[in-house]
């Protein structure tokens, strides 16, 4: 049974009514429980729980230190192509946008790699738009094969692939997969994705599981906050992570909390996730999923990222460029997939993490040869 069964189970659930019924006592009881149920998760995501953030934050910190210690794993994104065949209304790389398209050659990818390598960070996330006809599987294999000479840990965020294709990438040095469902509400998903293979909701939903089946070390998922009702989306995203964590214990499951920022096309998100509610979700996820990695990217402002370090974060991006060829030779007119809010250098971020008593991890594993 896939996670689709859970999606269908909650499609007609009365979220608004349940959230309105949650009392302060319900929240307090859920905070102190050792093992939380789905009902407890709903309690912690409810508006009533906003009155108990201090307690949630304290418990979240305790659990994070218990399971992860004071370490923050760092990674750097590397965009190698922005060609895309999907019509996602919120994305700067959407096929609907008239932007300069670029695909790096292997020589250009190596230039990017050598610059990133100087930061000392050994984890990279390689990204493309979703255009298999232009930057397809063979191009991906060549690219990660080259990058594996420089980095012991490579994750990919690209078009959804088969289990067999992820297994083949694993032999070339890929150990992680990032894929966001974007929005779990199927009707909203249909409106947000107007053309291309990404219109296939089920293929997207089952993609993280294909990566786990292929034996990838890390699978990172997330909902793009702003597209659907934020509390409902957080609930489904947390259940998705639990489903994967329970079913694939040998794979590290991670969750990201991306909020929509400005991009080409000027999409205006119909929903908003405030900083206050962001913190609520972060701590609720940690209480519900104590073993799962929680990731925050440079979409968020530097001060906000600094302040939420003790609340459950275990992974962060650093020194990000969100357009193709961003580290070597950017050109006038290069269009990012989305705007970043934390523009600090990797050195500044590493120093900031250390100043707050945490240990930035630039490389935490090496594959056995």
| Span 249-269, pLDDT tens digits | 999 999 999 999 877 668 899
| Span 228-244, pLDDT tens digits | 999 999 999 999 999 99
Q: Mean pLDDT across the stretch 274-282?
A: 98
pLDDT tops 90 at residue 95: yes
Residues 59, 53: Cα–Cα separation, whole Å: 10
pLDDT tops 90 at residue 328: no
Q: Mean pLDDT across the stretch 10-38?
A: 97
Q: What is the model's pLDDT at position 368?
A: 53
Q: What is the model's pLDDT at position 228?
A: 97
The answer for residues whose C-beta is within 8 angstroms of residue 87's C-beta and 6 or more apart is 94, 95, 96, 193, 194, 195, 196
pLDDT tops 70 at residue 43: yes
| Span 99-114, pLDDT tens digits | 999 999 999 999 999 9
Q: Mean pLDDT across the stretch 295-322?
A: 95
Residues 111, 109: Cα–Cα separation, whole Å: 5
The pLDDT-based confidence of 270 (bands split at 50, 70, 90) is very high
Is residue 53 within 8 Å of residue 293, measured between CB atoms? no
Q: What is the model's pLDDT at position 364?
A: 63
Could you give the count of Cα atoms lying within 13 Å of 172 in the half-sphere of its Cβ? 19
Q: What is the model's pLDDT at position 339?
A: 84
The answer for residues whose C-beta is within 8 angstroms of residue 212's C-beta and 6 or more apart is 219, 244, 247, 248, 251
pTM of the model: 0.96
Q: Of 2-6, 18-22, 308-312, 360-364, which range is least confident?
A: 360-364
124 forms beta bridges with 76, 154
pLDDT tops 70 at residue 248: yes
Q: What is the CATH number of domain 4-361?
A: 3.20.20.70
Q: What is the model's pLDDT at position 334?
A: 75
Specify the higher pLDDT residue, 66 or 2. Answer: 66
Q: What is the model's pLDDT at position 333?
A: 54
Average pLDDT, the chain: 95
| Span 182-196, pLDDT tens digits | 999 999 999 999 999
Q: Mean pLDDT across the stretch 30-55?
A: 97
Q: Mean pLDDT across the stretch 77-104?
A: 94
Cα dihedral 353, 354, 356, 362 sign = positive
pLDDT tops 90 at residue 330: no
Q: Mean pLDDT across the stretch 2-6?
A: 96
Q: What is the model's pLDDT at position 54?
A: 97
pLDDT tops 70 at residue 174: yes
The answer for residues whose C-beta is within 8 angstroms of residue 61's C-beta and 6 or more apart is 310, 311, 312
Is residue 276 within 8 Å of residue 231, measured between CB atoms? no
pLDDT tops 60 at residue 157: yes
Instruction: Output the CA angle 153-157-158, nearest 5 degrees.
Output: 130
pLDDT tops 70 at residue 201: yes
pLDDT tops 60 at residue 17: yes
Q: Sketch the domain layout of the chain as residue ranges.
A: 4-361
pLDDT tops 90 at residue 365: no
Q: Of 12-16, 49-53, 202-206, 322-326, which range is least confident?
A: 322-326
221 forms beta bridges with 255
The pLDDT-based confidence of 367 (bands split at 50, 70, 90) is low
Residues 224, 212: Cα–Cα separation, whole Å: 21
């Amino acid at each position: 049974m896939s996670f689709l069964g859970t999606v269908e189970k909650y499609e007609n659930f009365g979220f608004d009514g349940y959230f309105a019924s949650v009392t302060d006592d319900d929240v307090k009881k859920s905070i102190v429980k050792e093992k939380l149920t789905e009902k407890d998760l709903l309690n912690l995501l409810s508006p009533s729980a906003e009155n108990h953030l201090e307690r949630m934050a304290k418990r979240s910190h305790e659990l994070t230190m218990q399971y992860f210690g004071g370490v923050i794993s760092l990674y750097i994104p590397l965009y190698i192509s922005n060609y895309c065949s999907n019509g996602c209304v919120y994305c700067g790389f959407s096929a609907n946008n008239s932007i300069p398209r670029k695909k790096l050659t292997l020589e250009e990818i190596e230039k990017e790699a050598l610059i990133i390598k100087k930061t000392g960070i050994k984890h990279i996330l390689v990204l493309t738009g979703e255009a298999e006809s232009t930057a397809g599987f063979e191009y991906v294999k060549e690219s990660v094969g080259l990058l594996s000479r420089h980095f012991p840990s490579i994750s990919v965020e690209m078009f959804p692939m088969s289990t067999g294709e992820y297994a083949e990438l694993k032999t070339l040095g890929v150990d992680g997969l990032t894929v966001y469902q974007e929005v779990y509400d199927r009707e909203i998903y249909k409106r947000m994705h107007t053309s291309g293979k990404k219109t296939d909701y089920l293929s997207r939903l089952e993609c993280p599981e294909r990566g786990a089946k292929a034996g990838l070390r890390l699978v990172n998922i997330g909902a793009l906050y702003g597209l659907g009702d934020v509390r409902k989306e957080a609930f489904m995203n947390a259940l998705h992570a639990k489903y994967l964590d329970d079913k694939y214990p040998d794979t590290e499951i991670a969750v990201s909390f991306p909020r929509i920022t400005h991009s080409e096309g000027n999409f205006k998100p119909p929903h908003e996730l405030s900083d206050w509610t962001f913190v609520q979700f972060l701590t609720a996820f940690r209480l519900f999923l104590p073993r799962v990695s929680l990731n925050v990217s440079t979409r968020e402002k530097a001060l906000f990222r600094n302040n939420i370090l003790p609340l459950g974060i275990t992974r962060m991006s650093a020194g990000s460029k969100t357009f193709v060829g961003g580290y070597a030779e950017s050109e006038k007119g290069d269009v990012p997939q989305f705007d970043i809010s934390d523009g600090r250098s990797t050195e500044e971020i590493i120093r900031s993490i250390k100043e707050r008593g945490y240990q930035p991890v630039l490389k935490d594993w090496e594959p056995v040869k």
